Structure 1
Amino acid sequence: MTTEPLSFPRQHARTQRFTLGAPRAFAVAPDGSRVVFLRSRSGTDRANLLWVLDVADGTERVAADPQALLGGVTEHLSTAERARRERSREGSGGIVGYATDTAVELASFALSGRLFTAELRAGTARELRVPGPVIDPRPSPDGRLVAYVSGSALRVVGAEGENDRALAEPEPSAEPGTVSYGLAEFIAAEEMQRSRGFWWSPQGDRLLVARADDAPVRRWWISDPAQPERDPQQVAYPAAGSANADVRLYVIDLDGVRTEVVWDRARYPYLAHVHWSEAGAPLVLVQARDQLSQLFLAVDPDTGVTRMVHADEDPQWLDLFPGVPCWSPAGQLVRIADEGGARVLAFGERPLTGPQLHVRAVLDVTDEEVLISASAGEAAAAPETGEVHVYRVNELGLERLSQEPGVHSAVRAGGVTVLVSAVLDRPGARVQVLRDGKRAATITSYAESPGLSPRVTLTQGGARKIPCAVLMPTDYRGDTPLPVLMDPYGGPHGSRVLAAHNAHLTSQWFADQGFAVVVADGRGTPGRSPAWEKAIKDDVAAVVLQDQIDALQSLAETFPLDLTRVAIRGWSFGGYLAGLAVLRRPDVFHAGIVGAPVTDQRLYDTHYTERYLGDPNTRPEVYAANSLIDDNGLVAAAEPARPMMIVHGLADDNVVVAHTLRLSSALLSAGRPHEVLPLSGVTHMTPQEQVAENLLLLQVDFLRRALKPA
């Protein structure tokens, strides 16, 4: 008996976009002997195990197996844990995150709201019986204690399970359910990439702890109309122009004595980054509400007094970057800055890189050098469309560690580097373990191989040299022009034109249905220059839409594109962009798939929206110009009317379904034909297998009806 191979949509959904079974979340022991990572047992298994690679002999062994630890019981997640996973876009299960002590000897993690530790040398794991549900457990640097959050309180327990106690918990006077210690508030986790709320001192004798009070934040209600017997979920959502959570920072000793860290919170309310290492005093980055200024502050942990180490200002906005600010081992401030039209690595007050590189993240800092992630800057000798590389930088210059054209990242410690490399002509990502620059081992991936390979051309389009990817059907012979599907994200923080195989799988599947697929990373997308990213200030809509049009029309001069049949699809910002396209430029775009769109900018969150559009209370005209509907819920649409499929998850707490409902009402009032596909129980992600599969199939059906490809 033979089994029919899975269709691409089903395989794509079942493997969570071919990510299951791939190793991730690496930690390297400081002596270079071990690499710790997460990986599930196969390309369709959602439950991650904790693994250890012994670098000396290249052997891999399981350090913690969630199935064994839970005794086969189905994992249960608390509401707070579900919210954390939604913020980090985590769709897998089992061990989805872990933390280690400094020596990478002890790891801690939560499973089903219970606390577990693993001794990484011995390969043994056990549960510590503590009050739950447990969130974000982290060992002390010396491995003697584990701190964790439970019931909005920060607690600590001995590594053997002894002497569990609360260090900080909501005050009796606080409004119930509003105060938490040790957790990142919504806006920090969703927009600042700060997913944690407490940090151990290097000596393990005290912690920096964030206290978040979301009582001032407006309450919204998320309901599931398909389950009318269930109560709606209340969420504290800081919409643009409204109040944020009140965030404070404390130094808390192991006996519970606390000292508040003092800075001008009225002027700099955003706690964006915290760093505490042996190289210097605790370091915090605080940001103004308008994100035009920020301070780097050193903290005296005995008194809570802060002193300014550095200050930044920018007329558009200030970005936040992974890995910085931090101290070098010698006590120099390491940061990423926009200087001289370039995004550079700065060591102290001195830039170490120039316009030839666009620095994206700091990966590791030693006395000798800094390891960074970067793409080619605008002053580079040649464009490297879609490439991201790893570089070693010091005062004498820089050296590229990754060699293959592709997208690379790295983790390093103790002379050992874990280099993760994705390239165009190889599925998935290869993980090499390098010792002193030479390959010592390769970490196996169990991810499934897709049943197709992208037929992709990376190029540039238009006078602005917009990075583009063009995908043609696998069996296309070049004899007739093809209807076009624009498939962008097109906005801040998201690049889709990447020199990596798996980045283009869905686009290739759409191409194989009879389309020429075009992906364009216009102004506002990351990885090119500060000016490129900040060109959208106050004018997100017109700028991003024009770059899609310029790329399309330029590419039509060299590719067989039928400009009389052009559709556009997108999700989140891409959904917003698709809505813009069909409503404002129906002369160019003939159909649109509008997924989870932000249709009214006033309904999206503070830190993101105000960065680009300012305060809606003082600049309502800017918000109106950049929304799909106006203050009266009306849609301004050019003629002729174009077909739209609008898709939205009813459980989405990031881009709430009100965006789609208001757009649909406006379209109905204007007599504009459209169809709405509500996804019951679906959030901003679509991890459900059947939903994800059928969503692709329904999109193709819509495109065939709208464009009628051969």
Structure 2
Amino acid sequence: MVVAGQLVTHGQSRPIELADVAEKGTFAPKGVMAMRLIPGDRAHYSALKAGMGILRYSYETGEQTGTLLTFTDLPESYRKPSDYITSPNGRYILLEYGPEPLYRRSYSADFQVYDTQSKALVPLSAHGKVRLPTFSPNSTQVAYVWKNNIYIVELGTMLEEQVTSDGAVNQVINGAPDWVYEEEFALTTGLFWSPDSRYLAYLRWDESDVREYAMPIYGEALYPTEYRYKYPKAGEKNALISLHVYDGKNLKNLKINTGLEADQYLPRVQWSPRGELTYMRLNREQNHLELLQADLNTGKSTVFFEERDACYIEEPTDWYLTFVPDSPLFIVPSERDGTRQLYLCSMKGGEPQQITRGRDEVKRVYEFNPTEGTVYYQAYDGSPLNLGVFRASILQKKRKGKKLGRERISESQGICSATFMGDYYVLGQQSVGEVPKYTLHSLNGKQIRLLEDNHELKAKLAAYALPEKRFFTFRGPSGDTLNGYLVLPVGYDSTKRYPVMMTQYSGPNSQEVLNRWEVGFDQYLASRGVVVACVDGRGTGGRGREFRKCTYGQLGKLEVEDQIAAAKYLQAQPWVDAERVGIWGWSYGGYMSTLCLLRGADVFCMAVAVAPVTNWRFYDSIYTERYMGLPRHNAKGYDENAPLFYTDALKGKLLVMHGTADDNVHFQNTMRLTEALIRAGKQFDLFTFPDRNHFIYGYGARGYLYTHMDQYITENLLR
């Protein structure tokens, strides 16, 4: 076993309680408050302070230097906004009230428009709660979505114009993503203003032919109600998506010609700084990506970049396309050399020029600084366990066969991230042995001030007996070196034998084995005398294209092989009780823990599965087909690794927990598994959470879940 790092153990005697990690948030580190840009002011930022107002602060000192809005100046019923949006010119502030969540990222809310010049406060719309209010770049208009239609409000007169009229629930959505785009492409809006504010581009989803999924909502009334929404499962019909442009000058809508193929994806739309409308086109199999430019007069589209992959293109993101202002140049990530790196390309064509190179893959782009000619990004830092923040110049000459230069701006090894704001950035840093710390820097790298170092949390930790966390590696069944971590019980004695609880997620491009700070359920279990182990197997991120995409078309097969191999490796250690090895996980991790218990019946004595997928045919089209292909082309891959078909093999103890209103991994998965286990004559344990979604929270549900799991582990692993 190779130890790569460890958490310093504090030597006091106070134990970690389950409520500390499951309910109270005793060890939750502090972050920093949102720092919003103030238009035209490079020295200050704004932030909302509850009970006071929207205040102005100095970047350099952190001191309050003024007030943009004092809440006591507003009518009493409007003094507690949940959030705010400032117009690009700073004159108007949209105040948000009473947000109501829809799905993971979407919600509706009441919005009031505050005019900083006239001090007037007026409703954005007479319709009540609306979605996605978006200022035009010239700050004269706000576009929003109400009942699946798009409206534009002229702020000078507060007159409203309806842009679309065909929106209808479970039929047509204008300007707001459907469920599967929001969930699997992380697309948060379908509204896109042109830089000159003349045009509003928008996406339209026609989901008329998408099949509905229905969920009973038990509530508190005498009879349950039913929630129905469009959910395309793997191989089923998707919504038909189209791109349109509304011309505010001529009051006309233009439909963009996005190609002859209707069964495709348009996961991103973006205006270039020069006013060119561009969008991303992805085929149904998600192995051919194109970037196109649309003609605003004819609607015709022209491809200016494309990528193909034998397996799949990684999930599109907001940062995939980064334009270089005042030029036809742009930056995109690509795996063409075997790892995910950045390339400089031109809309005029030509060979892409590599900006970054090496084994350390790029994780995300933060921004491009035109003054410096540099791109700021996050990438792995010498190991898949570490993430650093870097910058690289796009002006470097391509040096074939040599590593291109990059400058590391993060200061320590661990998990580092950054948020950029004009001339400054906030640098976040943490590691296994260091609680999260946040510092403010100028673009030249100079630290301006410390924002948060979580010293109060450090002092609190000194009173607890914390388990030790160690990283290790071992050789998996494929010959690959796999990364893992152990959380060892307080007072760990290598001459004793301990039960082991394996935890994992294992999904494509995910990672759990990272050099980050955490005191959670792992540490609680270890404080009870359980060794907690986690291994990132094949298919996980940070190891290059081949390692990540080898699971294509056979999700679950190689991942289960690696988890079983990890369990056997641990069983061979003298300090492990080989008869007491369990595994648990949530979502994809729940799918894996179930399948591991069935395929590794002689290895694992128990498993806990929370909200598990039990057959990939039940999951949504975009995610599943990206990694599995279409069911009609890969029926064997879908069925060979579905837990439903291995229930005869169950030997150990199995606990399944699921929310009945899970809009993501449907409760259907657990019900079908239950039926299969009944038919196989296999006893197992089931716990359901009424009206809870995929995250199982609210009214004590999260604490209840962990308490039930803790009891199950006590009965079956600590016996």
TM-score interval for Structure 1 and Structure 2 normalised by the shorter chain? 0.7 to 0.9
- Determine whether 1:369 maps to 2:374: yes
- Determine whether 1:487 maps to 2:503: yes
- TM-superposed deviation, 1:613: 1.4
Label 1:74 to 1:637 Cα distance change in 2 as closer, same or farther (>3 A): farther
Match of 1:417 among 425, 445, 449: 425
How far apart, in 2, do the equivalents of 1:703 and 1:403 lie?
A: 40
Match of 1:310 among 305, 310, 317: 305
Contact persistence 1:416–1:435 (CA under 8 A): yes
Partner of 2:82: 95
Label 1:261 to 1:254 Cα distance change in 2 as closer, same or farther (>3 A): same
How far apart, in 2, do the equivalents of 1:52 and 1:455 lie?
A: 43
How far apart, in 1, do the equivalents of 2:90 and 2:488 lie?
A: 47
Partner of 1:354: 357
Match of 2:513 among 484, 490, 497: 497
Label 1:580 to 1:300 Cα distance change in 2 as closer, same or farther (>3 A): same
- Determine whether 1:272 maps to 2:267: yes
Label 1:581 to 1:74 Cα distance change in 2 as closer, same or farther (>3 A): farther
Partner of 1:247: 241
Contact persistence 1:21–1:40 (CA under 8 A): no
3-state secondary structure, aligned to 2:380: strand
- Determine whether 1:509 maps to 2:517: no
Match of 1:406 among 414, 433, 453: 414
Percent identity between matched residues is 24
- Determine whether 1:620 maps to 2:660: no
- TM-superposed deviation, 1:122: 12
Q: Deviations over 1:527-580 (max 9, x none)?
A: 221112101111111111112223334455668332221111100000000001
- Determine whether 1:192 maps to 2:185: yes
How far apart, in 2, do the equivalents of 1:62 and 1:598 lie?
A: 50
Moved more, 269-278 or 590-599: 269-278
Size of the aligned set, in residue pairs, is 665
Moved more, 509-518 or 406-415: 406-415
Label 1:359 to 1:100 Cα distance change in 2 as closer, same or farther (>3 A): farther
Output aligned runs, 1:266-345, within 5 Å.
266=261, 269-279=264-274, 281-319=276-314, 320-329=316-325, 330-345=327-342
Match of 2:444 among 436, 445, 449: 436
How far apart, in 2, do the equivalents of 1:68 and 1:609 lie?
A: 51
Moved more, 534-543 or 160-169: 160-169
Partner of 1:461: 474
How far apart, in 2, do the equivalents of 1:666 and 1:417 lie?
A: 53
Label 1:32 to 1:532 Cα distance change in 2 as closer, same or farther (>3 A): farther
Equivalent AA in structure 2 for residue 353 of structure 1: T
Match of 1:643 among 646, 650, 653: 653
Contact persistence 2:268–2:280 (CA under 8 A): yes
Match of 1:10 among 19, 28, 35: 19
Equivalent AA in structure 2 for residue 337 of structure 1: S
Partner of 1:537: 552
Give structure 1 stretches of 5+ with no counterpart. Answer: 42-47, 76-93, 377-382
Contact persistence 1:420–1:432 (CA under 8 A): no
Partner of 2:4: none
Label 1:40 to 1:622 Cα distance change in 2 as closer, same or farther (>3 A): farther
- TM-superposed deviation, 1:156: 1.9
3-state secondary structure, aligned to 1:285: strand
Equivalent AA in structure 1 for residue 669 of structure 2: H
Partner of 2:402: none
Label 1:360 to 1:64 Cα distance change in 2 as closer, same or farther (>3 A): farther
Output aligned runs, 1:41-120, within 5 Å.
53-59=57-63, 95=82, 99-102=85-88, 108=94, 110-112=96-98, 113-117=109-113
Q: Deviations over 1:277-310 (max 9, x none)?
A: 3245122111000011111111223332211111
Match of 1:218 among 195, 200, 211: 211
Equivalent AA in structure 2 for residue 498 of structure 1: L
How far apart, in 2, do the equivalents of 1:155 and 1:315 lie?
A: 42
- TM-superposed deviation, 1:192: 0.8
Contact persistence 1:273–1:325 (CA under 8 A): no
Contact persistence 2:585–2:593 (CA under 8 A): yes
- TM-superposed deviation, 1:69: 7.4
How far apart, in 1, do the equivalents of 2:180 and 2:293 lie?
A: 23
Q: Deviations over 1:170-224 (max 9, x none)?
A: 26xxx66411211011121100111111111112222111111111110110113
Label 1:445 to 1:274 Cα distance change in 2 as closer, same or farther (>3 A): farther
RMSD (Å), alpha carbons: 3.3
How far apart, in 2, do the equivalents of 1:604 and 1:560 lie?
A: 40
Label 1:520 to 1:120 Cα distance change in 2 as closer, same or farther (>3 A): farther
Output aligned runs, 1:651-690, within 5 Å.
651-688=661-698, 690=700
Output aligned runs, 1:517-536, within 5 Å.
517-536=532-551
How far apart, in 2, do the equivalents of 1:99 and 1:446 lie?
A: 29
3-state secondary structure, aligned to 2:584: strand
3-state secondary structure, aligned to 2:266: strand
Contact persistence 1:280–1:331 (CA under 8 A): no
Output aligned runs, 1:30-49, within 5 Å.
32-36=42-46
- TM-superposed deviation, 1:465: 2.0
How far apart, in 2, do the equivalents of 1:419 and 1:217 lie?
A: 44
How far apart, in 2, do the equivalents of 1:218 and 1:244 lie?
A: 9
- TM-superposed deviation, 1:638: 2.5
How far apart, in 1, do the equivalents of 2:554 and 2:67 lie?
A: 51
Contact persistence 1:199–1:207 (CA under 8 A): yes
Equivalent AA in structure 2 for residue 230 of structure 1: P
Partner of 2:563: 548
- TM-superposed deviation, 1:95: 3.5
Contact persistence 2:659–2:694 (CA under 8 A): yes
Contact persistence 1:110–1:136 (CA under 8 A): no
Partner of 1:23: 32
Q: Deviations over 1:324-346 (max 9, x none)?
A: 11311133121110112111101
3-state secondary structure, aligned to 1:593: strand
Equivalent AA in structure 1 for residue 300 of structure 2: V
Contact persistence 1:50–1:95 (CA under 8 A): no
Partner of 1:86: none
How far apart, in 2, do the equivalents of 1:506 and 1:121 lie?
A: 51
Contact persistence 2:555–2:637 (CA under 8 A): no
Equivalent AA in structure 1 for residue 504 of structure 2: P
Label 1:588 to 1:539 Cα distance change in 2 as closer, same or farther (>3 A): same
Contact persistence 1:148–1:155 (CA under 8 A): yes
- TM-superposed deviation, 1:252: 0.9
Equivalent AA in structure 2 for residue 356 of structure 1: R
Partner of 1:83: none
Q: Deviations over 1:83-103 (max 9, x none)?
A: xxxxxxxxxxx736x655446
- TM-superposed deviation, 1:270: 0.5
How far apart, in 1, do the equivalents of 2:232 and 2:417 lie?
A: 33
Give structure 2 stretches of 5+ with no counterpart. Answer: 1-13, 99-108, 346-351, 397-404
Label 1:555 to 1:290 Cα distance change in 2 as closer, same or farther (>3 A): same
- TM-superposed deviation, 1:665: 1.2
Label 1:65 to 1:246 Cα distance change in 2 as closer, same or farther (>3 A): farther
Partner of 2:132: 136
3-state secondary structure, aligned to 1:663: helix
- TM-superposed deviation, 1:387: 1.4
How far apart, in 1, do the equivalents of 2:61 and 2:120 lie?
A: 20
How far apart, in 2, do the equivalents of 1:239 and 1:500 lie?
A: 35
Contact persistence 1:276–1:282 (CA under 8 A): yes
How far apart, in 1, do the equivalents of 2:15 and 2:115 lie?
A: 40
- TM-superposed deviation, 1:242: 0.4
How far apart, in 2, do the equivalents of 1:375 and 1:212 lie?
A: 37
Match of 2:162 among 166, 169, 188: 166
